[in-house]
Amino acid sequence: MKHWAFLIMAVTILVACASPKPPAMTVATTSGTPGDGQSVTFKGDALALEGTAIKVGDTLPAAVLTSNDLKPVNLAEAKGKVRIISIVPSIDTPVCEEQTHELSEKNGGLDKQVELITVSMDLPFAQKRFAKEAKIHNVTFLSDYKAAEFGKSTGLLIQPLHLLARTVLVVDNDNVIRYMQVVPEITNLPDMETAMKAAKGLL
Active-site residue identified among 17, 28, 63, 96: 96
Q: How far, in Å, CA of 71 to CA of 87, rounded? A: 19
* Sign of the Cα pseudo-torsion (106, 109, 111, 114, in order): negative
Residue 86 DSSP SS3: strand
Name the maximum alpha-carbon separation found in the chain. Answer: 51
Q: How far, in Å, CA of 105 to CA of 97, rounded? A: 12
C-alpha distances out from residue 190 to 3, 193, 203, Å: 29, 9, 22
Residue 194 DSSP SS3: helix
* Residue 96 annotated among the catalytic residues of the structure: yes
Q: What angle do CA 114, 117, 120 make, to 5 degrees?
A: 165
Catalytic residues, by residue number, are 96
